[in-house]
Amino acid sequence: MIAEGPCDGLTFVELAARLERDGVNPVHAAALFRHLHAGGAGEFEPPLKRWWEAKSAEIRTTMEVVKVTASADGWTSKRLLACGDGRQVEAVLMGFHGRLTACLSTQVGCAMGCVFCATGQMGFQRHLRPGEIVAQARVLSEVARARGQRIRNLVMMGMGEPLHNYDATMQALAVMTDTRGMNVGPGRVTISTVGHVPGIRKLARERAPYSLAVSLHAASDEERQALIPVNRRWPLAELLDACREYEAHKGRLFIAWTLVDGVNDSPDHARRLAELLRGLDVHINLIPLNPTTGFNGGTSRAARQSEFQKTLREAGFPVTFRQARGLDVAAGCGQLAAG
């Protein structure tokens, strides 16, 4: 069954089937897919051209750029995008060492309610459709192309919990990693989760070729529940079991830990984290808390951050600080909130 509506959420095979159903030889799918996802210009051959002209209103997902905010350092720009129904999401383009990373949203708002997160503070509005996820990447790709670059990495770390919108996220990734279109290598895709256990297990079962970043932030259920309410539903023991399952399929696993001053940034927290992760092949990303108006936690002090990192390193884990990008435009982790 081929979805009705815009074609930019369709995989190559689905797009070819859609053309065939409309009486166009599916051999034209390559030109159309390239045009939709790789900015291919060029003239279409007559059958495709006729189809394109007849269907132009329903081929692409509408995603209007409402506002662009660029960071002072020039590395990051955030775009507020309006969906067809007027709801808004944010997509962020970040440059690291000259390589561009797109950070995409998967939901309008989020149901997970993490207390430090601006998106969580909005509540859940709705899931994005595959075409709406792909359309964010298309908008950012156009910016990249104008600079003579292309998007190298995708992080599903914008608004929403991607694994709560599993099917749409996977469908969009299948489109965006297709070599005939946007061609982002699957190994350059990271899905971020706050610990959606059924989603992690499904990724493992399906042997998804993407990296997974699990936001832990606390090493006991009691502490974690205070920051991440869904820990009540999927407690740490279950979450770590799911991580082991994911790791067993040889996916790359990252642990994200937001450092909140006086809350989870002591050497004791680091030791307990190391204990919890023992036996897992993980890379730990430390993220100094990004300020949001709805959470009164503070950013961990520099000395405590270094001590935390040192303790984990001594326990044998690779640990890096995730580079803070775009804090001045509220495009850092946990700061996206459609406004």
Q: How far is the CB of 35 from ligand SF4 (least distance, A)?
A: 32
- Give the residue from 38, 6, 43 showing the smallest Cα distance to 28: 43
Question: Quick one: CA torsion of 268, 272, 277, 283, rounded to 10 degrees?
Answer: -20
Tell me which stretch binds ligand SF4 (CB under 6 A): 18-26, 86-94, 109-117, 295-303. 109-117
Distance CA 188, CA 200 (A): 18
Size of the residue set binding ligand SF4 (CB under 6 A): 12
Q: Judged by CB under 6 A, does residue 119 bind ligand SF4?
A: yes
- Give the residue from 231, 140, 151 showing the smallest Cα distance to 193: 231
7 tagged catalytic: no
Q: Judged by CB under 6 A, does residue 112 bind ligand SF4?
A: yes
Residue 117, judged by CB atoms within 10 A of its CB (0-12, 13-18, 19+), counts as: buried
Q: How far is the CB of 227 from ligand SF4 (least distance, A)?
A: 9
Give the angle subtended at the CA of 46 by the CAs of 44 and 50, to the nearest 5°. 90
Q: Considering only residues 8, 14, 132, 161, which one is a binding residue for ligand SF4 as defined by CB under 6 A?
A: 161
Distance CA 180, CA 169 (A): 19
Q: Judged by CB under 6 A, does residue 178 bind ligand SF4?
A: no
Distance CA 65, CA 59 (A): 18
Q: Judged by CB under 6 A, does residue 117 bind ligand SF4?
A: yes
Q: Pairing between strand 211-215 and 189-193?
A: parallel
E strands present in the chain:
64-70, 76-82, 88-96, 99-103, 107-109, 124-127, 151-156, 189-193, 211-215, 253-259, 282-288, 319-321
Tell me which stretch binds ligand SF4 (CB under 6 A): 158-166, 246-254, 274-282, 285-293. 158-166
Q: Judged by CB under 6 A, does residue 239 bind ligand SF4?
A: no
Q: Judged by CB under 6 A, does residue 90 bind ligand SF4?
A: no
90 tagged catalytic: yes
Q: Judged by CB under 6 A, does residue 263 bind ligand SF4?
A: no
* DSSP assignments along 245-262, one per residue: HHHHTT--EEEEEEEBTT
Measured from the Cβ of residue 235, the count of other Cβ atoms closer than 10 Å reads 16
Give me the catalytic one of 14, 83, 90, 114: 90
Q: Judged by CB under 6 A, does residue 14 bind ligand SF4?
A: no
- Give the residue from 131, 145, 211, 213 showing the smallest Cα distance to 176: 131
By CB under 6 A, the residues from 188 to 227 that bind ligand SF4 are: 194
Q: Judged by CB under 6 A, does residue 160 bind ligand SF4?
A: yes
Tell me which stretch binds ligand SF4 (CB under 6 A): 68-76, 89-97, 153-161, 165-173. 153-161
Q: Judged by CB under 6 A, does residue 8 bind ligand SF4?
A: no
Q: Give whichever of 9 and 334 is closer to ligand SF4, judged by the CB atom.
A: 334
Q: Judged by CB under 6 A, does residue 260 bind ligand SF4?
A: no
Residues that bind ligand SF4 (CB under 6 A): 110, 112-114, 117, 119-120, 159-161, 194, 334
Catalogue the active-site residues: 90, 333
